[in-house]
Amino acid sequence: MSDSISLKRVKKLRGKIVPPPDKSISHRAVMLASIADGKSIVRNFLRAEDTMSTLNSFRKLGVKIEENRGQGKNTKLTIYGKGIHGLKEPASVIDCGNSGTTARLMSGILAGNPFFSALTGDDSLRQRPMARVINPLKEMGAEISARNADKYLPMKIKGGHLKAINYKMPVASAQVKSCLILAGLYAKGTTAITEPQKSRDHTERMLKAMGANIEVKGLNIRVQGLGNKKLNPVDITIPSDFSSAAFFIAGALIVPDSEILIKNVGMNPTRTGFLKVIKEMGAYIKIENIRDVSGEPVADIHCRATGNLKAAKISGDIMPSLIDEFPILCVLATQAEGVTKIKGAEELRVKESDRIQAMAEGLRKMGAEVKEFKDGLSIKGNAKLKGASIDSYKDHRIAMAFSIAALIASGKTIINGISSVNISFPGFFEMLKKLSR
């Protein structure tokens, strides 16, 4: 089967959509419900490749999880939590697929458990840095070894008997932070973590709701080991993923005469740096119907093409809150007046692909002027994009970003490696078609 799609310019995007459920929250819901005591319900779970890697991993650890797929894409999970000490030794290697969140967060839980386990992943995940979790977990007392001097998957873990540490994180990463918070639940004492910049806080919110003793003050997090205490099960409803919505927000802004309503979107402020930037760029965005759903802010986003976007300078503390929106932000930048510069984004080199390189290469092929730096890039705006054959490097967000760029390009754009969209957004192309006029 061909793994590419040919896309052409559209006249406009119009309509109402509900993007798929949040990937980060879906991972965390399965993990935390699995180590809670008793039955949790997770409504609107994201049934995509990444989150299924997490779900299947916890089944391997002995957790019973029922999937009720219901109407449409709305999956309800019933998770029979085993309690913090109830997981069992897996009989075979745990395959995290493409999912960094699965590998890094699970390593924190496995480090707390006194059995043997081994983790691996696909070609991309096996090249992504794991020392960032292995080093602090070893400091807490876990026995871990991994490929290439403890830097890459596969890795093996023999955990248990963790002690709390004070850890100053060298990189802003919600995955590392969450890994250490989870290990902290198993540790004796209070684990203190300081992050260099604020990253997404879904783990902290969910754990608080489950009764864990976790305290967040700015960039400092303190989590107390559970000891004999239990985590309470939850009944949660997951909102749509802001990062998935971002592709259509951008589409609505750059395809002339577009107007769309995106419903039920997670608006956690640690995730919505993209909105701040595009508002500064002059975008028409209205946030409507703001509400709280299961401890996360949710809203509907109304956006409209107005033209007249202006270039932006993006760096510093805002970066973690728009890290996954970098590819689509680059596409937007090609249509803004002036030169957009993104710096301080070296983490993008170690995502599902080297996203700085992948965006620079593809946008140049489409006719944009791009300069690449070690930690970011600059893009000259008001570009007339032309169709090209694009390598997505099998990275879901690269494939989706160029699919949006194709909507304003002359001629045909071929996106290669499109099955990767199933990592986070099954149904992406159908949704795009539904909106295209």
Q: Which residues bind ligand S3P (CB under 6 A)?
A: 24, 27, 100-101, 173-175, 178, 199-200, 323-324, 347
Least distance to ligand S3P, CB of residue 32, Å: 13
Contacts of 254 (CB under 8 A, 6+ apart): 305, 309, 331, 332, 335, 404, 407, 408
Least distance to ligand S3P, CB of residue 320, Å: 6
Nearer to ligand S3P, 20 or 387 (CB): 20
Least distance to ligand S3P, CB of residue 353, Å: 12
Best CA proximity match to 235, nearest among 91, 424, 81: 81
Least distance to ligand S3P, CB of residue 110, Å: 17
| CA count, 13 A, side-chain hemisphere, 209 | 19
* Catalytic status, residue 324: yes
Nearer to ligand S3P, 101 or 191 (CB): 101
Nearer to ligand S3P, 82 or 128 (CB): 128
Phi and psi (nearest 5°) for 224?
A: -90, 135
Q: Which residue is nearest to ligand S3P (CB)?
A: 24
Nearer to ligand S3P, 77 or 406 (CB): 77
Neighbours of 16 (CB within 10 A): 12
Catalytic-labelled residue, pool 22, 241, 300, 324: 324
Nearer to ligand S3P, 35 or 182 (CB): 182
Cα–chain center distance at 221:
21
End-to-end CA distance of the chain: 27
Q: Are 224 and 249 in contact (CB under 8 A)?
A: no
Specify the length of the chain in residues.
437
Phi and psi (nearest 5°) for 413?
A: -115, 130
Cα–Cα distance, 102 to 260 (Å, whole number): 33
Least distance to ligand S3P, CB of residue 347, Å: 6
- Residue 154 preceded by cis peptide, ω within 30: yes
Residues belonging to the active site: 324
